[in-house]
């Protein structure tokens, strides 16, 4: 259902309208009037005849014609009754500004539930409670006490914090930042971030969606909604409160390494959402995305009238991993011909301190015409002879003539450039008070542009033996066992197409030697116990055994020593396993985030995985490209690709990526798997099959297969 009755109602009633200045019931009414709202306004107040020249009504039914939108500012205990009246009148939308609901304890929670039930039953959409209202600038609807309506513009904003929204309104008004809709979603009883992303996505005035969130209710729906809308418009979010939450208990390396922020980081990335660390950064990005085209690549030209400023911008470009564009020979020749001889015609282009608007025009035209340039940062330092305003006008004019590539400005200073900054703003050129802020914005634009042009996501489905996995998991659950050991984990992985070494369990040293001679030497012995997750920690692994004597000795030593280290341990047997060919050790893993579902992990494997922290996370299900990208993000990738300078052969990258996809399929098809590690997976040269040398799986105690 659309939210249009909030943004463009034909009539509005304010229940709890007040005559008293300073009271919310007065401020909201007067904001609506002063904002220039052109529809009908019905103040509801049994103790007043008129307020601000508008006729007052004793209660909602007395209004007669049902209003599209009802704004509620009465005490929380009265709100359920108002909701009933709205339902009776077939009102379309309510904004409940009143507080005293879920945020204030059990009683409030119950009130909120009552109001929501009434609204849901009557098909009324509800914003709030405990919010500061809604603004729609083009429609001249100020149904809030957040301040004056900002100028119309392309940025839509929703906020879980009302006071933050009030501060944003104040800043937008002071800086002339154009906004489309601003919504305080308060307790999110009904309208939440999903509705807002959809509504702002559909809103023709909104070019950029920005928001502040403290919680996300439905992780799965969030991913889908955000991914769909991001394909049309950028979404810039501040997600706060994340770093405060503690680590979760986990047995797997993967679970232990997934921090509180990991899920948000990789889910936002998957959905194309730009995560912002501060309001300032969010508006830095939003202003450019609302007014400038997306860059096709990361090659930036800097134009400046001072060497120092150009160097600072070049430093920032390097830090943000963008590229200083290399100008074409044609561009170089053109600049050399037309600019002052002492000017630096390489990038950054230094027009020198006496540059007037004409030199800026030459450089900007040349840069925008150069096919090797994806975006331009124009910097200006106000020297004594600089004509700031004319330069700003020129930048606006040239960038409009040659649209297609983003142009950002960073004029330095304050009073001397203030008139020019107004010209830039009105001309749609975002201005930044520092080159660093402008370059960070370019980075975000490039990343979003890349995300938009990524290939269509196709998740490959492998033929697998699902039934076998069901049986193994069910068997464990029936026995209340939630931790699968190496043997069982490997059986599950085999069913999903993974290769494991030949192996069998031995109960005596003689049996171990027999198994070893059947498998063929060398072999590995591993303790097999439901009480042990990380075997090497208790010296439960002995590798490279080449004789039957060595196998028997190793068997007996484990049986003797391990119970001394871990008294009471249950050791049903010892695993005798084929020794793998040598290769690189990597870890593949999964941990299930309670909100966003399975997060896949890839990294350098072995015992040091948690120390090295060289891992990458991404939400399942994975496409081939995403699996490959996870590999590329790690330092380990250099080694795997054979690029460590030693001239060594690389390993089969695609085989690892396929392993990640198979694992992704497993954990997607079995939501009861809570966490798992394959560590190590041994990978060899191209054409060889990776081998699962060890693995563990943890189940959700509540699972049903």
- Total number of residues that touch a copy of itself (CB under 8 A): 78
CB atoms within 10 A of CB 508: 14
91 preceded by a cis bond (ω within 30 of 0): no
Q: Which of 390, 396, 387 is nearest to 364 (CA)?
A: 396
Q: 571 CB contacts (<8 Å, ≥6 apart)?
A: 527, 528, 529, 558, 559, 562, 563
Shortest distance (Å) from residue 685 CB to a copy of itself: 16
Residue range at the interface with a copy of itself (CB under 8 A); choices 38-46, 235-243, 523-531, 667-675:
235-243
Q: How far is the CB of 499 from a copy of itself (least distance, A)?
A: 26
Give the footprint of a copy of itself on residues 442-501 (CB under 8 A).
Answer: none
Return the residues of window 249-278 that contact a copy of itself according to CB under 8 A: 277-278
- Minimum CB separation of residue 306 from a copy of itself in Å reads 3
Nearest distance from C-beta of residue 387 to a copy of itself, angstroms: 12
Pair 574, 532: CB distance under 8 Å: no
Instruction: Give the interface segment with a copy of itself, choosing from 58-66, 77-85, 310-318, 467-475 (CB under 8 A).
Output: 310-318
d(CA 52, CA 33): 8
Q: Which of 121, 336, 346, 608 binds a copy of itself (CB under 8 A)?
A: 608
Nearer to a copy of itself by Cβ, of 279 and 703: the residue is 279
Instruction: List the one residue from 311, 471, 559, 703 that touches a copy of itself (CB under 8 A).
Output: 311
Among 22, 53, 246, 404, binds a copy of itself (CB under 8 A): 22
| Candidate segments 55-63, 75-83, 239-247, 546-554, binder of a copy of itself by CB under 8 A | 239-247
Between residue 141 and residue 180, which ones bind a copy of itself under the rule CB under 8 A?
Answer: 145, 147, 159-164, 166-167, 170-171, 173-175
Residues across the chain? 705
Question: Measured on CA atoms in the order 360, 366, 367, 369, is the torsion positive or negative?
Answer: positive
C-beta of 414 vs 461, nearer to a copy of itself: 414
- How many angstroms separate the CA atoms of 313 and 316, rounded? 5
Applying CB under 8 A, among 315, 426, 510, 654 the residue interacting with a copy of itself is 315
Does 613 bind a copy of itself (CB under 8 A)? Our answer is yes
- How far is residue 656's CA from residue 653's CA, in Å, rounded to a whole number? 5
If one asks whether residue 346 binds a copy of itself (CB under 8 A), the answer comes out as no
Footprint of a copy of itself on 351-370 (CB under 8 A):
353
Residue 384 as a binder of a copy of itself (CB under 8 A): the answer is yes
Three-class SS state of 371: coil
Q: Binding string to a copy of itself for residues 326 to 345, with x set by CB under 8 A, is what? A: ----------------x---
Q: Judged by CB, which is closer to a copy of itself: 342, or 458?
A: 342
24 interacts with a copy of itself by CB under 8 A: yes
Q: Which of 600, 518, 561, 24 is nearest to 258 (CA)?
A: 600
Cα-to-chain-centroid distance, residue 465: 34
Q: How far is the CB of 579 from a copy of itself (least distance, A)?
A: 16
- Span 672-701, contacts to a copy of itself by CB under 8 A: none
Question: Is 279 an interacting residue with respect to a copy of itself (CB under 8 A)?
Answer: yes
Query: Does 434 help bind a copy of itself (rule: CB under 8 A)?
Result: yes
Locate all alpha helices (DSSP H) within 414-465, ordered by sequence: 418-426, 435-452
- Contact flag: residue 654 with a copy of itself (CB under 8 A): no
Report the interhelical angle of 307-319 vs 435-452 (nearest 10°).
40
Q: With binding defined as CB under 8 A, does residue 638 bind a copy of itself?
A: yes
**413 counts as binding a copy of itself under rule CB under 8 A:** yes
132, 162 Cβ separation under 8 angstroms: yes
| Residues whose CB is less than 8 angstroms from the CB of residue 349 and which lie 6 or more positions away in sequence, other chains included | 301, 302, 303, 304, 310, 335, 343, 363, 367
Q: Which of 308, 371, 520, 701 binds a copy of itself (CB under 8 A)?
A: 308
Q: Which of 409, 445, 441 is nearest to 424 (CA)?
A: 409
Rounded to a whole number of angstroms, the minimum distance from the CB of residue 27 to a copy of itself is 6
Backbone angles phi, psi at 66, to 5 degrees: -70, 130
Q: Is 295 in the site for a copy of itself (CB under 8 A)?
A: no
Determine if 212 is a binding residue for a copy of itself (CB under 8 A).
yes
- Residues in CB range of 98: below 8 A, 6 or more apart: 16, 72, 73, 74, 75, 76, 79, 128, 129, 130
For a copy of itself, which stretch binds (CB under 8 A), given 4-12, 430-438, 455-463, 653-661? 430-438
Residues 50-69 that bind a copy of itself (CB under 8 A): none
User: Does 632 interact with a copy of itself (rule: CB under 8 A)?
Assistant: no
Q: Measured from the CB of residue 320, what is the shortest distance to a copy of itself in angstroms?
A: 10
Report, in Å, the least distance between residue 138 CB and a copy of itself.
Answer: 22
When the beta carbons of 167 and 481 are compared against a copy of itself, the nearer one is 167
Give me the DSSP letters along 520-535: -SSEEEEEE-TT-SSG
By rule CB under 8 A, what string of x and - marks binding of each residue 105-144 to a copy of itself? ----------------------------------------
Q: Which is nearer to a copy of itself, 1 or 340 (CB)?
A: 340
The distance of closest approach from Cβ of residue 604 to a copy of itself in the complex, given in angstroms and rounded to an integer, is: 8
Q: Can you list the positions of beta strands (E) in 56-96?
A: 69-72, 93-96
- Asked if 126 and 149 touch (Cβ cutoff 8 Å), the reply is no
CB neighbour list of residue 550: distance below 8 Å, 6 or more residues apart: none
Give the count of beta carbons closer than 10 Å to the beta carbon of residue 633.
16
The residues, any chain, with a CB within 8 Å of residue 609's CB and separated by 6 or more, are 253, 257, 587, 603, 615, 679
């Amino acid at each position: 259902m659309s939210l249009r009755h909030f943004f463009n109602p034909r009539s509005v009633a304010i229940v709890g309208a007040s005559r008293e200045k300073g009271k919310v019931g007065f401020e909201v009414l007067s904001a609506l009037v002063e904002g220039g709202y052109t529809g009908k306004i019905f103040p509801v107040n049994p103790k007043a005849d008129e307020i601000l020249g508008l006729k007052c009504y004793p209660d909602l039914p007395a209004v007669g014609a049902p209003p599209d939108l009802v704004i509620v500012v009465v005490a929380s205990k009265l709100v359920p009754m108002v909701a009933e009246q709205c339902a009776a009148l077939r009102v379309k939308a309510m904004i409940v500004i009143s507080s005293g609901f879920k945020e204030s304890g059990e009683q409030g929670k119950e009130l909120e539930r009552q109001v929501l039930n009434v609204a849901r039953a009557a098909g009324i959409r509800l914003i709030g409670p405990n919010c500061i209202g809604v603004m729609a600038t083009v429609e001249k609807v100020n149904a809030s006490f957040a301040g004056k309506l900002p100028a119309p513009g392309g940025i839509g904003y929703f906020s879980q914090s009302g006071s933050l929204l009030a501060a944003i309104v104040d800043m937008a008004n002071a800086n002339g930042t154009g906004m489309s809709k601003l919504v305080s979603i308060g307790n999110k009883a009904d309208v939440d971030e999903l509705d807002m992303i959809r509504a702002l996505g559909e809103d023709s005035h909104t070019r950029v969606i920005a928001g502040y969130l403290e919680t996300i209710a439905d992780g799965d729906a969030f991913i889908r909604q955000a991914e769909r809308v991001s394909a049309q418009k950028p979404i810039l979010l501040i997600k706060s409160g994340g770093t405060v939450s503690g680590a979760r208990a986990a047995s797997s390396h993967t679970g232990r390494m997934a921090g509180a922020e990991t899920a948000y980081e990789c889910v936002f990335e998957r959905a194309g959402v730009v995560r912002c660390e501060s309001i300032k950064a969010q508006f830095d990005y939003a202003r450019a995305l609302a007014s400038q085209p997306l860059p096709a690549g990361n090659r930036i030209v800097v134009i400046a009238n001072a060497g120092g400023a150009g160097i600072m911008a070049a430093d920032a470009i390097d830090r943000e991993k963008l590229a200083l564009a290399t100008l074409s020979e044609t561009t170089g020749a053109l600049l050399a011909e037309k600019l002052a001889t002492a000017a630096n015609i390489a990038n950054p282009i230094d027009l020198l301190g006496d540059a007037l608007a004409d030199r800026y025009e030459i450089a900007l035209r040349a840069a925008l015409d150069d096919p090797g340039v994806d975006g331009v940062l124009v910097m200006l330092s106000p020297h004594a002879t600089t004509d700031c305003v004319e330069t700003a006008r020129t930048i606006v004019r040239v960038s409009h003539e040659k649209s297609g590539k983003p142009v950002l400005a960073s004029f330095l200073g304050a009073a001397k450039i203030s008139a020019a900054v107004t010209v830039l703003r009105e001309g749609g050129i975002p201005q930044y008070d520092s080159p660093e802020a402008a370059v960070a914005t370019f980075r975000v634009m490039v990343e979003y542009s890349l995300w938009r042009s990524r290939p269509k996501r196709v998740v490959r489905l492998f033929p697998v033996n699902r039934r076998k996995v069901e049986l193994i998991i069910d068997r464990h659950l029936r026995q209340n066992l939630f931790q699968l050991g190496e043997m069982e984990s490997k059986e599950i992985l085999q069913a999903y197409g993974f290769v494991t070494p030949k192996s069998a369990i031995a109960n005596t040293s003689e049996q171990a030697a027999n198994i070893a001679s059947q498998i063929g030497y060398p072999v590995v012995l591993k303790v097999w116990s439901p009480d042990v997750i990380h075997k090497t920690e208790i010296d439960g692994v002995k590798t490279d055994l080449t004789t039957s004597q060595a196998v028997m000795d190793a068997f007996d030593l484990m049986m003797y020593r391990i119970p001394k280290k871990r008294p009471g341990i249950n050791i049903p047997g010892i695993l005798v396993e084929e020794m793998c060919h040598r290769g690189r050790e990597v870890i593949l893993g999964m941990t299930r985030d309670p909100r966003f579902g399975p997060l896949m992990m890839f990294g350098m494997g072995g015992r040091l995985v948690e120390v090295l922290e060289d891992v990458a996370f991404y939400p399942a299900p994975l496409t081939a490209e995403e699996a490959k990208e996870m590999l590329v993000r790690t330092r380990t990738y250099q080694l795997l690709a054979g690029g460590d300078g030693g001239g060594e052969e690389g390993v089969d990258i695609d085989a690892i990526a396929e392993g990640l996809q198979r694992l992704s399929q497993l954990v997607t098809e079995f939501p009861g798997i809570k966490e798992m590690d394959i560590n190590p997976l041994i990978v060899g040269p191209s054409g060889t099959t990776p081998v699962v040398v060890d693995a563990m799986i943890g189940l959700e105690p509540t699972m049903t297969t």
